[in-house]
Structure 1
Amino acid sequence: MIYITRRERFCAAHKLYREDWSQEQNEAVFGYCSNPNWHGHNYELFVTVKGQINPETGFVIDLKVMKNIIRTYVISKMDHKNVNLDVDFMRGKMASTEVMAKEIFHQLKPHFERYNVTLHCVRLQETENNSVEYFGE
């Protein structure tokens, strides 16, 4: 089994808040991340697939194909967008990095299956110090 990872980047705004809570309660739990005027990050997305090497090409998956899948189903939907308002697969969900990583995984998974590889994990890096990994469990 071979694992291959592709990195992509995107910039997006979001805020962490619950509509059923007061602004004070949101600030107490989420701090500056609940800023009513949003805040943003320069995200790095690492997508890892696994599979067997194709003896004809020497590839697990053509990296151009991998890039196009990630850009079509995630980057084009999230880059320079408001995660809470503009991203269809995040509508109605908490825009935490944890939830975003999980939803990105589910966006990508079926598109890799068509190429006989398995999506192994998604790592979403929010800052240089904070990242989340999701393995589809």
Structure 2
Amino acid sequence: MIYIQRRERFSAAHQLYNPNWTEEQNEAVFGKCANHNFHGHNFELIVTVKGEVNPDTGFVMNLADLKKIVKTLVTDKLDHKNLNRDVDFLAGQMTSTENIAIAVWKILAPVIAEHGVALHCIRLVETENNSVEYYGE
């Protein structure tokens, strides 16, 4: 088994805010991230797939194909968007980095499987100090 990765970047705004809570509760839990005017990040999305090397190509998966899949299905829909308002696959969810990673997994896993490999991990870097990894579990 071998693992390959593709990194894409996108910039987006979001707000962490629970409408069922008071302003004070939201401020206490989410701090500046609850700002009514939203806030933004320059995200990095690292997609890791796994499989066996194809003896005819030397590839696990053609990285050009992986780039196109990730860009078309995910980053083009997230880049320069308000994640709370503009992204259909995040509608009605708290737009935490964790939930974004899970949503991306749900989109990519079946499409990547069509290429004879498996999605291994979604890593989403929100800041240089904060990131999440999701393995579909």
Gaps in structure 2 of 5+ consecutive residues: none
Letter of the 2:96 partner, please give it: S
Deviation digits for residues 72-130 of structure 1 (CA, Å, limit 9, x no counterpart):
11001100001111111100001000111111111111110110000000000000011
Matches for 1:17-36 after TM superposition, within 5 Å? 17-36=17-36
> Cα RMSD (Å) of the superposition?
0.6
Q: What is the CA-CA distance between 1:22 and the residue it aligns to?
A: 1.9
Alignment correspondent of 1:93: 93
Identical columns (%)? 61
Find the residue that maps to 1:84 and give its secondary structure.
coil
Inter-partner Cα distance in structure 2 for 1:76 and 1:111: 16
Q: What is the alpha-carbon distance in structure 2 between the residues aligned to residue 45 and residue 98 of structure 1?
A: 12
Runs of 4+ in 1 over 2 A off after TM superposition: none
In structure 2, the residue matched to 1:128 is: 128
Instruction: Provide the C-alpha distance between the structure 1 equivalents of 2:50 and 2:74, rounded to a whole number of angstroms.
Output: 19
- 1:65 and 1:118 map into 2 onto residues whose CA distance is 14
The separation in 2 between residues aligned to 1:4 and 1:71, in whole angstroms, is 16
- Name the counterpart of 2:119: 119
SS in 2 for 1:85: coil
CA distance in 2, matches of 1:86, 1:111: 23
Q: Across the two proteins, how many residue pairs are aligned to each other?
A: 137
Give the C-alpha shift of residue 24 in structure 1: 1.9
Offset, 1:23: 1.8
Q: Secondary structure at the match of 1:56?
A: coil
Q: Give 1:58 deviation, angstroms.
A: 0.4
Following the alignment from structure 1 to structure 2, what is the Cα–Cα distance between the partners of residues 74 and 22? 33
Letter in 2 for 1:19: P
Aligned match of 2:11? 11
Give the Cα separation in 2 of the matches to 1:15 and 1:23: 13
